[in-house]
Every structure is written in structure tokens, then in C-alpha cells.
Amino acid sequence: MPADAFELRRLVQQHFLGRISSVMFDPGYRNHLALMADGYDVSVFLDDERQDGYITADPEEGFVQRRAFQGSSVTTDMRRGAVSIRISKKVRRA
């Protein structure tokens, strides 16, 4: 039976195995740009806990670098563990 033309496709989440980074001179920056340009939503998990404010994530090296707020100043902190980068296509609305 053919699918309804207006059927909403379910989101299939995939894992990205490379390094991503929002820092221009980091090796993962090109991966980050490519994922954004291709319309992917990116979520980073450390030990199955979602990480907000991440700067760099590397599943192979097992670390996530994040923004850390201490009072009125912003610093970075690095956490180690099992890193997972999950990607899914953004849903385009007409």
C-alpha cells in the first residue's frame, strides 16, 4: 500500500563518529560546519546525559569541552567519559 503523501516521516537518529567543534581552528570545525550546512540537528551526550553548551566533542578521545559559568565570568571545562554525537535531519515546515 502506498504511503500517504502528507505522512510525516519519523525522525531517524544517527550517530556521528567524528570530532565536532565550534572553534574555528579545531580539527572538528569542518565537521561541525558540514553538519549544519546539511541541515542536521546535533546533540552531544556524555555518559548518556545530554550536554548543553558544548564547544568540542570527540567520541574517540572520550571528552566534551563545555562552557562553564562561574558568577559573571565564562570559562571552559572538560569532562571525560563515553561520548555520543547524535544527529537527525531538521524537519522543514512549509
Instruction: Give mean pLDDT, residues 17-32.
Output: 95
As a whole-number percent, the residues of the chain with pLDDT over 70 amount to 82
pLDDT digits (tens, 9 = 90+) for 70-84: 888 888 899 999 999
Extents of the domains making up the chain: 14-89
Taking the C-alpha atoms of residue 87 and residue 14, their distance in angstroms, rounded to an integer, is 5
Largest CA distance in the chain: 59
pTM strictly above 0.85: no
Which of the residue ranges 22-26, 32-36, 59-63, 89-93 would you say has the lowest mean pLDDT?
89-93
Instruction: Give the number of other Cβ atoms within 10 Å of residue 75's Cβ.
Output: 9
Angle at 53 between CA 39 and CA 62, to 5 degrees: 90
Taking the C-alpha atoms of residue 76 and residue 88, their distance in angstroms, rounded to an integer, is 27
